[in-house]
Amino acid sequence: MTDSPLLQLESVRIRHEGATAFTPDEVGFAVHSGEVVLVLGPSGSGKSTLALALNGLVPHAVPAELEGTVRVDGIATTDTTVARLSESVSMVFQDPDAQIVTGTVLDEVCFGPENLGLPVAEVLARAEAALTQVGLWQRRDENPDRLSGGGRQRLALACALALRTPLIVLDEPTANLDPRGIDEVYTTLADLVARGGHALVLIEHNLDAAMTLVDRVVVLDRSGRLRFDGPARTVLRDHVGELLALGVWLPAATLAGLRMRDAGHPVAELPLTPVELTALVDSLPAPTAPVPAPEGTVRSGASTTPPQFAPGHELAVRVRDLTVHRGRTEVLHGVDLDVPRGAFVALVGTNGAGKTTLLQSIAGVIAPPRGRVDLLGLDPARADVGTLARAVGFVFQNPEHQFVRGTVADELAQSLERQRLSPDEVADRVDRMLERFGLEAARDVHPFLLSGGQKRRLSVGTALIAGAPVLALDEPTFGQDRERAAELLDILSGLHSEGTTVLVVTHDLQLVADHATHVAVLDGGRIAAFGETAAVLASDALVASGLQPPPLARAFRAAAHPAWHGVTRLGDIPTALRASGAGS
Amino acid sequence: MSLAARAARVDPYADRVDHGALRFLHRLNPLAKIAAPLPAMIALVFTRDLAVPLAFIALAYLLLLVGAKLSGRAALGLFVVLPALSAVLAFSIGLWTAPSRTEGTPVLFAIGSFDYTLGALTAGAATALRLGGILVLSLLAGLTSTGPDLVRAMVQQLRVPYRLGYTALAAYRFVPRFGHELDVIRQAHRVRGVSTGRGPVAAVRRWLGYVVPLLAGALRHAERVALAMDSRAFGAHPTRTERHLVPFRARDWVFMLAFWAATAAILVAGAVLPR
């Protein structure tokens, strides 16, 4: 391009106060008007730090050292102020709650233009245009808290639009949202891109949603160095092996394409979106039998009889006619649920469907009505904390909330000491747990000073150390990047294979597809469907409850031949190809 | 989510509502509603008799009855809770009044050798009425203004730097959020089996345990909000556009001066009139 770039980075290195390494390290790239650039990289590569440098928050507001130059409209960010730069670069951050400062949707959008000192008429004109564009103009008088997560993030986008900056930086804008919110935000972004006029820099781990929008990708490696910079399709297709080795998360469709390639099927062009994957699948000969063979049944919420499990199946959790109120609202309406021992159950549903309430009732975090929940012969409504802790471990969404002691080792010892075990026994079990979760080196560290991944592992360890055969987790992957989410899911799969019954509330349906044995879909305080994962994902239950099937399931369900429709996880693909005669 | 539901219940930003010309208190500048009763509130600290606080209370009740649209809760507090509290306070302060100061007044009742005299009750009532009076006067502004309007008035009339005022306003949002977070932390700690023991010592220890996670979360949240505000040109210029003007009009002056005049009249009458 001949025009001068909107944004120009030259050997940018950033080191946070107290850190030893520079991440990002020697990064240089340019963004021109109208471009959509996706920044990729494994956790720790400094993507979010880089985002903060683009409007001068680094080094002006965040204590960090910046080397090299970031130029916005030709002006180095170090020569001006964040407030001035906000006329050229606007930001949308990850946490929608942390971006709202006023009491109504309209005031919120006006906040930026008011700070610029624009005349009232201009402020209102901009606010109306921005709110109309994100579809919130009708709700301008409401308190932003009344909006859904997706709605609040669209509001944050409107606030950025009202500043009329040529460049918008979005830092993990959908990481805190449920699938419906993610769709809302991406629909709005797609509209924004289609209208043109804005350059976007997007930091996002959810590539399945982002791939359709992106022109160019910039890839950082684990030490924060620039590895690739080029058109999205070229970089993803030509360097797919290197990207995987770097720990960059690829779109599910691309991973599926790779599986096909590994299975011996020639895939000329790797698919990047579910639509492209469907096209690829349709080019293959259809399998002779449905893959995988349908097993298990899906119970729809309408039927009253609970599903029958094979006689040998002992139940870990048995819920009957459970009705729970929160304040004056009834959140769960007569829920029945049977969880076989050793199952890995995912509770899914839109916000407000009652997932967390159900999980908390089962684990006794909130007291359910008596006689409705049977947890390995225990009624959580009556059991005391100690007895309950030996039956079920509960992991909260934010691990910090449940830390109660001053060191990692004490934290693990807490519930054992409450059981009055001998000091030798406590020390022995703590040591084993530290080793199990790779926390030996951190045993005397304060839990709050651990890294995010370590905190999460410690919270799982404390939930399990009392010997609980059931583990319940409330949205453990919320707000985390893909890598950390996968790390946690691997731990859970490990525990599951050792016999622990795992119950998890989550929004991430692809993780559900890849790990859970059973899925319970909640809708409006009722169980809309419950059954084995493959059967539920292949049914219409998700869509009927306002959820979108995960990308793989979506792509295969869209295939022309119905024999493909049951494929929901990567592991199914080789079998499917063998059945179709396309693989070797 | 539950956070949103909670926050929706506590709405510190509820917009200023206009209830018509009769409910004039809602139409006044919050600063006028604070400045007007201020001399009376200060005077009440130094009064000793019953008539002056009673007169101020009557004035404040009259103004609130006429000039404010009272919610059911506010009316209950004003007409039931506050009088009841004042009565209890009057009686109990009476118990502690030195008998030497009330000697010679009629005995209302006696417990053993202890006499509860009319003088003791009067002394108690005087103190209770002073406190009640100060409270009711402060409600003139408290029940009829919103937080944002007060901040705007402070920025627009008192020239309080807007960075300060609007940061305080943004911090309002923290209250319901931290309330929710505290609930979750308490739940989590209960699950961990921390809630052992009763009594004040155990309670203090429990609460100390909540402080660290709450503060850690609060600091992180505040930092993020600050970055978001900076990114939206907060503080770019010495002044910012105000869409909601909270003017200080002639009616505000009239209200203030009239209130001061009434205050002076009540105080003079209290000093001059025979009792």
Asked if pLDDT for residue A583 goes beyond 60, the answer is no
User: Residues of A numbered 458-487 whose beta carbons fall under 8 angstroms of chain B's beta carbons: which are they?
Assistant: 462
Asked if pLDDT for residue A44 goes beyond 90, the answer is no
User: Residues of A numbered 328-387 whose beta carbons fall under 8 angstroms of chain B's beta carbons: which are they?
Assistant: 351-352, 356, 360, 363-366, 385-386
Neighbours of B88 (CB within 10 A): 12
User: Nearest CA of chain A to the CA of B109: how many Å?
Assistant: 47
pLDDT, one tens digit per residue, over A408-463 is: 999 999 888 888 889 999 999 999 999 988 899 999 999 998 888 889 899 999 99
The strand order across the sheet containing A373-375 reads A329-340, A315-326, A373-375
User: Nearest CA of chain A to the CA of B191: how many Å?
Assistant: 6
Asked if pLDDT for residue A406 goes beyond 70, the answer is yes
DSSP per-residue codes, A282-317: HTSPPPSS-SSPP-S-EEETT--SPPPPPTTPPEEE
What number is the average pLDDT over the span B148-156?
Answer: 89
Q: What integer pLDDT is reported at residue A247 of this predicted model?
A: 83
What number is the average pLDDT over the span A474-481?
Answer: 81
Q: Which of B186, B211, B170, B245 is nearest to A97 (CA)?
A: B170
What number is the average pLDDT over the span B129-155?
Answer: 92
Whether B242 sits inside 8 A of A82 (CB atoms) is no
Kindly list the domain boundaries of chain B, sorted by start residue.
3-152+247-272, 161-231
Range of A193-197, A452-456, A468-472, A565-569 with top mean pLDDT: A468-472
Range of lowest pLDDT (A41-55, B188-202, B235-249): B188-202
Whether B225 sits inside 8 A of A386 (CB atoms) is no
Asked if pLDDT for residue A301 goes beyond 50, the answer is no
Nearest-angstrom CA–CA distance, B2 and B24 = 37
Which chain B residues are closer than 8 Å to A418 by Cβ?
193, 196
The answer to whether A142 contacts chain B (CB < 8 Å) is no
Q: Under DSSP, is residue A205 helix (H, G, I), strand (E, B) or coil?
A: coil
Mutate to test the interface with B, among A57, A401, A416 (most CBs of B within 10 A): A401
What number is the average pLDDT over the span B174-200?
Answer: 84
Asked if pLDDT for residue A2 goes beyond 70, the answer is no
Asked if pLDDT for residue B14 goes beyond 90, the answer is no
Q: Which of A552, A556, A535 is nearest to A287 (CA)?
A: A556
CB A567 within 8 A of CB A552: yes
User: How sure is the predictor about B64, in pLDDT bands with cuts at 50, 70 and 90?
Assistant: very high
In chain B, whose CA is at the least distance from the CA of A353?
Answer: B1
Which chain B residues are closer than 8 Å to A419 by Cβ?
none
Asked if pLDDT for residue A407 goes beyond 70, the answer is yes
Nearest-angstrom CA–CA distance, A232 and A218 = 8
pLDDT, one tens digit per residue, over B219-250 is: 999 999 999 999 999 988 888 998 888 899 99
Q: What integer pLDDT is reported at residue A292 of this predicted model?
A: 66
Q: Which of A29, A450, A88 is nearest to A229 (CA)?
A: A29
In chain B, whose CA is at the least distance from the CA of A57?
Answer: B227
Report residue A300 CA to chain centroid gap: 27
Nearest by CB to residue B148, choosing from A103, A143, A404, is A103
% pLDDT > 70, chain B: 92
Asked if pLDDT for residue A295 goes beyond 80, the answer is no
Mutate to test the interface with B, among A49, A392, A402 (most CBs of B within 10 A): A402
Asked if pLDDT for residue A308 goes beyond 70, the answer is no
Provide the token pair at B124.
């108690």
Neighbours of B124 (CB within 10 A): 23
Beta strands in chain B (DSSP E): 107-111, 114-117
With b meaning 16 or more CB within 10 Å and e meaning fewer, what string describes B217-240? Answer: beeebeebbbbbbbbbbbbbeeeb
The strand order across the sheet containing A75-76 reads A30-31, A7-16, A64-72, A75-76
Nearest-angstrom CA–CA distance, A342 and A400 = 28
Q: What integer pLDDT is reported at residue B198 of this predicted model?
A: 76
Asked if pLDDT for residue B191 goes beyond 90, the answer is no
Q: Under DSSP, is residue A338 helix (H, G, I), strand (E, B) or coil?
A: strand
| Summary mean pLDDT of chain A | 89
